[in-house]
């Protein structure tokens, strides 16, 4: 039901305002009958007569959202807030439109503003957590679920999502106990099995994880399949060494939702399968979808460029990381090794020292320094750097190059 409010007028043209009220009444009446075209035409006339009245602009936004004119609706609600900064409903309605457009952070911010001027209630808590889950900000969603679950204790979905927040933030114990309470209610929902599968995956029980995800992927109707479940089930299959199944499931995930992280996972599986041409394509695709995905640059460098001795490409990948993460010690370390491969010792040392400055326990940078010092004939410095690499846990067994260096430096087995 729409309540028509007569606006307060101070110094405005009374005739224009009276006419605006007539148009607004017609608009409210048409809206109550779901005649949105007639309603929006009437409110447009009301705005033309009295453009300073927030309630007219607000209703104009409501009707535009009904008509699917999302960008216009957002503009209407924004104008409403400009006219009336404490118009809490304009924030909420704009948040709903932003969420429908996939602008989840903007939606959350609007819902947050709404509760500055209005009491927190179930609908605002649900709106907030839905937006936060969509951007996978589980730590921020957690306190809202703590409020929401006691408010509506019979809604198992909220309990499951609270468990998911525990699990995603590393609190597996509380996540499992919260899930167990849901399981006791004989909940057979997709969400329950998804959270359960993720719990077992993170708890290093991949076989149980696969079993949980099978309830979603093989026993449920196709309409409720979700890409994340395919992604996590692929991770579980990979953990038990079933690479073919891992590749099948991650491919299904990419078909449902082409997310950068899915392509990164599949690229890593292709590396394990020694199908490097496909791995390169997927690393490229992951970066195309998310140019800030550090793992894609790192893995492409480690698994593709370094083994191929394509050091210039490695420099470019590490430079890309450094441009958006200027304090990434490991990117400087990797770029240092790439410069070493190019025999550009000046830049190799500059990056190595920068890496040590940012993180002095990184064994890889000490390995790089050992190689560089040895190459330029500084054996004592090379030995000191090699000791640093060993002290901080460099994986010697997996690096023949470093093994050879240790022999040349006279380190005993």
pLDDT digits (tens, 9 = 90+) for 401-411: 999 999 999 98
Helices (H) and strands (E) counted in the chain, each on its own, are 24, 0
From the list 238, 304, 312, the residue with the least C-alpha distance to 274 is 304
For residue 279, which phi and psi values (nearest 5 degrees)?
-60, -45
Joined together, the tokens standing for residue 401 give 């190059």
pLDDT band at 3 (very low <50, low <70, confident <90, very high): very low
pLDDT digits (tens, 9 = 90+) for 229-238: 999 999 999 9
Angle made by CA atoms 313, 314, 315, in degrees to the nearest 5: 90
Please determine, for residue 163, whether its predicted confidence score (pLDDT) is greater than 60.
yes
pLDDT at 2: 46
Percent of the chain surpassing pLDDT 70: 95
Sequential DSSP letters for 74-122: HHHHHHHHHH-TT-HHHHHHHHHHHHHTT-HHHHHHHHHHHHHSS---H
pLDDT at 314: 98
Give the mean pLDDT of 348-360: 97
CB 302 within 8 A of CB 278: no
pLDDT digits (tens, 9 = 90+) for 64-77: 999 999 999 999 99
Task: Domain 309-413: give its CATH superfamily.
Answer: Tetratricopeptide repeat domain (1.25.40.10)
């Amino acid at each position: 039901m729409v309540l028509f409010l007569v606006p307060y007028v101070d110094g405005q043209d009374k005739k224009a305002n009276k006419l605006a009220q007539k148009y607004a009444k017609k608009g409210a009446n048409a809206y109550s009958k779901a005649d949105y075209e007639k309603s929006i035409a009437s409110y447009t006339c009301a705005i033309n007569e009295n453009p300073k009245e927030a309630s007219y602009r607000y209703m104009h936004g409501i009707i535009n959202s009904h008509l699917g004119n999302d960008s216009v609706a957002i503009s209407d609600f924004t104008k409403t807030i400009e006219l009336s900064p404490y118009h809490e409903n304009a924030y909420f309605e704009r948040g709903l439109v932003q969420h429908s457009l996939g602008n989840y952070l903007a939606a959350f911010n609007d819902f947050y503003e709404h509760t500055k001027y209005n009491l927190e209630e179930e609908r605002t808590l649900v709106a907030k957590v839905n937006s936060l889950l969509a951007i996978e900000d589980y730590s921020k969603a957690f306190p809202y679920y703590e409020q929401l679950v006691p408010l509506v204790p019979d809604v198992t979905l909220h309990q499951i999502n609270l468990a998911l927040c525990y699990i995603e933030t590393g609190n597996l114990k509380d996540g499992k106990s919260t899930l167990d309470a849901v399981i006791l209610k004989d909940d057979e929902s997709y969400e329950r099995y998804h959270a359960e599968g993720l719990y077992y995956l993170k708890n290093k029980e991949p076989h149980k994880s696969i079993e949980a995800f099978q309830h979603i992927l093989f026993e449920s109707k196709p309409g409720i399949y979700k890409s994340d479940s395919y992604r996590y089930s692929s991770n579980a299959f990979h953990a038990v060494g079933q690479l073919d199944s891992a590749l099948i499931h991650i491919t299904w995930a990419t078909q449902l939702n082409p997310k950068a992280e899915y392509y990164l996972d599949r690229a890593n599986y292709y590396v394990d399968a020694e199908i490097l041409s496909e791995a390169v394509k997927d690393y490229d695709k992951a970066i195309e979808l998310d140019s800030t995905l550090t793992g894609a640059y790192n893995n492409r460098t480690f698994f593709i460029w370094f083994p191929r001795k394509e050091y210039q490409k490695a420099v470019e990948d590490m430079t890309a990381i450094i441009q958006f993460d200027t304090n990434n010690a490991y990117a400087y370390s990797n770029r240092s090794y790439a410069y070493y491969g190019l025999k550009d010792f000046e830049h190799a040392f500059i990056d190595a020292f920068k890496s040590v400055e940012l993180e002095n326990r990184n064994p890889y940078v000490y390995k790089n320094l050992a190689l560089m010092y040895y190459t330029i004939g500084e054996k004592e410095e090379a030995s000191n750097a090699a000791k640093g690499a060993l002290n901080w846990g460099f994986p010697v067994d997996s690096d023949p190059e470093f093994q050879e260096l240790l022999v040349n430096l006279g380190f005993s087995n």
